[in-house]
């Protein structure tokens, strides 16, 4: 695997770029897709279906890569991704498109951890720090240009090209990866943990659906959400029982004996929660409170992604000098400071001030994110590299999903109380002439107070109100929205501060100057792998527990 690195890296870069691009490129094409296929009420499922399938597949793909080799698993993921992309372009209804997006998510979930695993195979810790930063930059770049690319396809070609563009570049990436990994041997004798895969999938689908629907489509205490959480608990217990007896468990429970493994994944879980607090709610703050357009809010988020790219690249180079623990502590300090700063944004805030604070948040994220993967790869032997790397990404994905659900609950709770407290006195004291405008607002305040925020995003609705009445209620609704989003930012800052506290207990982890393969087998060295299986994990467990 030390040969043909240039071809291999080109293939990895291409696959990651278009895999990440596909998560954002559909945003600007969505109105056109809905206009042609219908199914507006199903729109959210285009993102949810991809998220569910890709999140669940990540740890399974990592384990299969350890068993069967990197090349067959990666090429399988690329094949599924390209096939699903073609089917998405051929979809004739919203239901078909959702189904194909879920299939595309399976391919994306296989591809997602593979680049990090392969980088861990062939590069030293020092080199991985540099390349993890480059991969972070590619991911950030794709997030920035995705909406623009999607808009260009819709305007000049057709929405189907949002998906068709994956095909030629996917084929090229597959060719480069196949040539770059041509020295790897296929291990056909591996045993698949079917019980673990089935119980894990049902448990995670139940959890993700509960977090997605809870507090929005159904109340948190409804029987639907309670049933999903009960299903998660039941199948999680069955999964843990299956993993205890499986010969090749998809998530070896022995990993959790390693204190560093547990702490690094907890840090990633909490940090990703905080990250989503900024990414998901700052555009709403900019549009509803500051008053910028939707495209302006998207542009204002760009500096955050750029600073994350810069910090990821610089942090990778600085890791050997600073060390794992100090760099994580420094990054989390910057991230928490940025989240605390956005809580100070009020009704008079400007777009430029918000963008400046987002730059600080992005810089903190960029310092931490690549380090977590590098640190996980340093504390385990190579035969566990796939499972360890993929499980780290999995816990971060779950953290993001949990964060979105938690922050939505916080916002709904605070906004409902704030709106009723501030708006009801104004409505009760409004003159009789304003009653036609007052009654619909009073009705919404009782049934769905958060829907009043939509009035801030739809200027024509506010414009139809009497000027005197509008001048009274608009500042109150804006102030309530600001207070509600501030509560989200405070909660996000608390999550990242807890992540900082967890890091204080992290043992020292040394980044090596030799490749992971040097600590175990090279590709195809079955005798070295067997020796590593027998002897390697115990020192790793002890190393991470010191």
Q: Same structural domain for residues 165 and 314?
A: no
Q: Which of 337, 358, 338, 225 is nearest to 290 (CA)?
A: 358
Q: Same structural domain for residues 286 and 417?
A: yes
Give 374's contacts (C-beta < 8 A, 6+ positions apart): 125, 128, 129, 132, 319, 324, 511
Which range of residues forms the domain containing residue 307? 251-508
Q: Decide if 542 is inside a domain.
A: no
170-197 residue pLDDT tens: 888 888 888 877 766 655 556 777 788 8
Q: Same structural domain for residues 91 and 149?
A: yes
Give the end of a domain, one of 232, 247, 262: 247
What are the backbone angles phi and psi of residue 346, rounded to the nearest 5°?
Answer: -115, -160
Spatial separation of the C-alpha atoms in residues 447 and 465, rounded to whole Å: 21
The chain-wide mean pLDDT, for the chain, equals: 76
Q: Same structural domain for residues 310 and 161?
A: no
Give the angle 349-355-361 at the CA atoms, nearest 5°.
115
Q: Which of 66-80, 226-240, 430-444 has the lowest mean pLDDT?
A: 430-444
Spatial separation of the C-alpha atoms in residues 331 and 138, rounded to whole Å: 20
Q: Decide if 300 is inside a domain.
A: yes
Q: What is the pLDDT of residue 187?
A: 56
**What's the predicted TM-score (pTM) here?**
0.76
Please, which pLDDT band fits residue 162 given cuts at 50, 70 and 90?
Answer: confident
Q: Same structural domain for residues 237 and 258?
A: no
Q: What is the pLDDT of residue 328?
A: 92
Q: Look at phi and psi of residue 291 and say left if phi exceeds 0, alpha if psi is from -120 to 50, else beta.
A: left
What's the whole-number mean pLDDT along residues 114-130?
Answer: 70
Q: Same structural domain for residues 240 and 261?
A: no
> pLDDT exceeding 90 applies to what percent of the chain?
12
Structural tokens at position 466:
């009497």
What's the whole-number mean pLDDT along residues 212-237?
Answer: 85
* Res 468 pLDDT > 90: no
| Angle formed by the axes of helices 467-503 and 324-342, nearest 10° | 160
217-226 residue pLDDT tens: 788 888 888 9
295-326 residue pLDDT tens: 666 677 778 878 887 888 787 777 777 888 99
Please, which pLDDT band fits residue 126 given cuts at 50, 70 and 90?
Answer: low
Classified as helix, coil or strand, 214 is strand
Q: Same structural domain for residues 394 and 479?
A: yes
Q: Same structural domain for residues 211 and 278?
A: no
Q: Same structural domain for residues 242 and 315?
A: no
Q: Same structural domain for residues 242 and 168?
A: no
What's the whole-number mean pLDDT along residues 47-65?
Answer: 79
Q: Which of 233, 261, 253, 118 is nearest to 193 (CA)?
A: 253
Give 366's contacts (C-beta < 8 A, 6+ positions apart): 136, 307, 308, 309, 310, 311, 312, 313, 314, 315, 331
Q: How many structural domains does the chain have? A: 3
Q: Same structural domain for residues 355 and 412?
A: yes
Q: Decide if 38 is inside a domain.
A: yes
Q: Same structural domain for residues 235 and 105?
A: no
Report which listed range, 286-290, 452-456, 460-464, 541-545, is most confident. 286-290
CATH number at residue 418: 1.20.1250.20
Q: What is the pLDDT of residue 526?
A: 39
Spatial separation of the C-alpha atoms in residues 62 and 77, rounded to whole Å: 12
What are the backbone angles phi and psi of residue 333, rounded to the nearest 5°?
Answer: -65, -45
């Amino acid at each position: 695997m030390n040969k043909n690195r240039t071809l291999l890296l080109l293939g990895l870069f291409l696959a990651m770029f278009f895999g990440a691009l596909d998560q954002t490129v559909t945003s600007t094409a969505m109105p056109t897709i809905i206009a042609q296929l219908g199914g507006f009420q199903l729109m959210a499922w285009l993102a949810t279906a991809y998220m569910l399938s890709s999140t669940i597949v990540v740890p399974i793909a990592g384990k299969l890569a350890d068993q069967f080799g990197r090349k067959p698993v990666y090429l399988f993921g690329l094949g599924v991704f390209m096939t699903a992309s073609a089917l998405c372009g051929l979809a004739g209804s919203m239901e078909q498109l959702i189904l194909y997006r879920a299939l595309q998510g399976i391919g994306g979930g296989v591809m997602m951890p593979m680049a990090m695993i392969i980088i861990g195979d062939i590069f030293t810790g020092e080199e991985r720090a540099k390349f993890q930063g480059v991969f972070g930059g590619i991911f950030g770049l794709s997030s920035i240009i995705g909406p623009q690319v999607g808009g260009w396809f819709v305007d000049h070609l057709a929405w189907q090209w949002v998906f068709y563009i994956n095909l030629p570049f996917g084929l090229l990436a597959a060719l480069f990866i196949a040539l770059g990994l041509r020295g790897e041997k296929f291990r056909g004798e591996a045993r698949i943990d079917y019980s673990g895969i089935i119980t894990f999938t049902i448990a995670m689908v139940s959890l993700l659906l509960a977090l997605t629907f809870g507090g929005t489509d159904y109340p948190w205490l409804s029987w639907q959400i309670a049933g999903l959480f009960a299903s998660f608990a039941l199948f999680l217990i069955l999964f843990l029982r299956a993993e205890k007896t499986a010969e090749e468990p998809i998530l070896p429970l022995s990993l959790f004996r390693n204190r560093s493994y547990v702490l690094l994944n907890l840090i990633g879980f909490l940090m990703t929660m905080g990250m989503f607090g900024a990414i998901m709610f700052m555009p709403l703050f900019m549009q509803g409170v500051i008053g910028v357009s939707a495209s302006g809010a998207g542009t204002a988020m760009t500096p955050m992604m750029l600073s994350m790219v810069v910090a990821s690249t610089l942090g990778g180079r600085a890791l050997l000098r600073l060390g794992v623990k100090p760099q994580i502590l420094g990054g989390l300090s910057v991230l928490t400071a940025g989240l605390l700063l956005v809580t100070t944004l009020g009704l008079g805030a400007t777009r430029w001030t918000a963008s400046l604070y987002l730059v600080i948040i992005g810089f903190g994220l960029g310092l931490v994110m690549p380090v977590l993967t590098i640190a996980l790869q340093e504390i385990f032997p190579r035969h566990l590299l796939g499972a360890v790397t993929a499980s780290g990404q999995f816990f971060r994905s779950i953290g993001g999903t949990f964060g979105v659900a938690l922050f939505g609950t916080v916002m709904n709770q605070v906004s409902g109380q704030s709106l009723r407290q501030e708006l009801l006195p104004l409505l009760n004291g409004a003159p009789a002439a304003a009653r036609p405008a007052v009654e619909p607002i009073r009705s919404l305040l009782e049934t769905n107070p958060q829907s009043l925020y939509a009035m801030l995003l739809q200027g024509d609705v506010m414009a139809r109100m009497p000027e005197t009445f509008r001048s009274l209620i608009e500042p109150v609704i804006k102030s309530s929205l600001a207070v509600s989003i501030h509560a989200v930012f405070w909660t996000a800052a608390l999550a990242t501060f807890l992540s900082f506290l967890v890091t204080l207990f992290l043992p020292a982890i040394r980044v090596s100057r030799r490749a992971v393969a040097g600590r175990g087998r090279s590709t195809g060295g079955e005798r070295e792998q067997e020796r590593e299986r027998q002897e390697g994990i115990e020192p790793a467990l002890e190393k991470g527990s010191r």
